[in-house]
Amino acid sequence: MSDIVRARRYALVTGASSGIGRELAMILAREGYALVLVARRTEPMHALAQQLEKAHGVPSVVVGADLGSPEGVRTVMREVSTRQLDLEVLVNNAGFGLAGGFEVLPAEQQLGMIDLNIRALTALTREVLPGMLARRRGYVLNVSSSAAFQPGPLMSVYYASKAYVQSFSNALHEEMRGRGVTVTALCPGYTETEFAARAAEHQRPRLFSGPLGSLDARQVAELGYRAMVRGRAVVVPGFTNRLGAWLMPFTPLAVKLRITRYLNASGA
């Protein structure tokens, strides 16, 4: 893994140790991209890097970093700069959610959610975008959520963080128009990953019992990748999720709040 060739196309994927991030890394490797894999846990990423090199002949740089801290983004960009890698793709996938009452969930965890879901995503995008614009080629894929389209009682901070990601991504998509760079928001609904397990640390939402069905991480990643290369602003995987996103603007706030609260309440 040590002899990284600058001429290769590189994709940086955060939250690459599992779930949708891991699947997106596998798809990007299949498409010929060398990878910069970022997450807190390095062991699963080293295993993934070996798998991708064996299957697709692409090298990977593994970066262990806690993006929830200011030093995390600096660690990642220092590695990219030291190796003089030109990033063609940025996948901002790292993030987490927590279910439970706002006054009950630990304040430190909720503020950490904002740091990771919002601050780190914004900081990485700001670091990478100028180089893409200079080369007039690049893709940014921000993993948002179907939660972005309405407020979320009992997951209030998570839903609000994804509303930020959605608004930010849509605005940048328009700013980048005609400049060789595209920004896409991937908005999956409930997906059975480690994310779901962490979100249910304090309370398991009724939604996680699958009343609306779910897609697997591979399906979500494939749809996200296809939307990204086509330059779409938004992609919502799954018919039920797309229908819900379409209906939300026409649904009275009181109704949205009650439906979302019911889905986020404990299913136990």
Residue 259 in tokens: 């439906």
In angstroms, what CA-CA distances link 249 with 255, 261, 264? 11, 17, 20
Phi, psi angles (nearest 5°) of residue 9: -80, 130
d(CA 212, CA 209): 9
Residue 164 in tokens: 């930020």
Which residue spans within 4-137 are E strands per DSSP? 10-14, 34-39, 60-64, 87-92
d(CA 259, CA 212): 12
Burial (CB count <10 Å: 0-12, 13-18, 19+), residue 259: middle
Question: Contact, 152 vs 106, CB < 8 A?
Answer: no
d(CA 144, CA 141): 9
d(CA 106, CA 127): 31
Of these residues, 10, 158, 190, 225, which one is catalytic? 158
d(CA 61, CA 73): 15
Q: Please confirm, yes or no, whether 159 is among the known catalytic residues.
A: no
The residues annotated with a catalytic role in the active site are 158
